[in-house]
Structure 1
Amino acid sequence: MTEPNRPPLEETPEVADAIEDDVAVDAFVTGGGPDSENPQFLAPGEEPIVRTGADQPWEPADLAVAEGRDPTPENVERARRELDRDGAAAIERTVP
């Protein structure tokens, strides 16, 4: 309920001030970095820097949890075998 002498919120000076303060943020207007309208091109022969989930060390318990399993001894052992057998590919399947 509103007070009898109080205008609706939409008609208060504070709301009018907030609406008038609609200014652009410089960082978002230009120079904000590469995007679909301002792509960053690589020089010929330059390789892109791509970071994947396998760029960091993984413990078998981490892989088991990333796969949505509880870190029980059986699941950790299965993840250890998977890491030993497949290496980084085991991680890439789960955390690309």
Structure 2
Amino acid sequence: MSTSQPDDVSRPSRDRTTPDGLLHARTGTDVSPEDVVLAAGRDLTPRNLEWAKRKIETEGPAALDKLLP
């Protein structure tokens, strides 16, 4: 009976960590207020949509990137 350990490929490795810049899901398309509201975990209400519009005006597309893991 073999007592070998599973291959290291199944375990995450600290030296193979994906850089933060590659983790964002935005595809280069325009960021909508709805995208920002949903990424923030908020409900789609007029108040939250206004908040998101202001956030996009201030931060640009990075507004969404900052909310995503």
Whole-angstrom CA distance in 2 between matches of 1:54 and 1:75: 22
Bigger helix fraction: 2
Aligned residues: 64
Greater RCO structure (CA 8 Å; 6+ sep) = 2
Whole-angstrom CA distance in 2 between matches of 1:52 and 1:81: 25
**Which of 29, 51, 57 is the aligned partner of 2:7?**
29
Tell me the residue number matched to 1:80.
Answer: 53
* 1:53 corresponds to 2:24: yes
- Identity rate of aligned residues, in percent? 30
- In structure 1, runs of 5+ residues without a counterpart are 1-19, 41-47
TM-score, normalised on structure 2?
A: 0.56
Quick one: structure 1 residues 52 and 88, their matched pair in 2 at CA, closer, same or farther if it must change by over 3 Å? farther
Structure 1 runs of 4+ aligned residues shifted over 4 Å read: 22-25
Deviations 1:28-69 (Å, cap 9, x if unpaired)? 425x28724xx45xxxxxxx6831436334321121122122
Root-mean-square deviation (CA, aligned residues, Å) is: 3.4
Higher CA-based Rg: 1
Alignment check: 8 A CA contact 2:37 2:52 kept:
yes
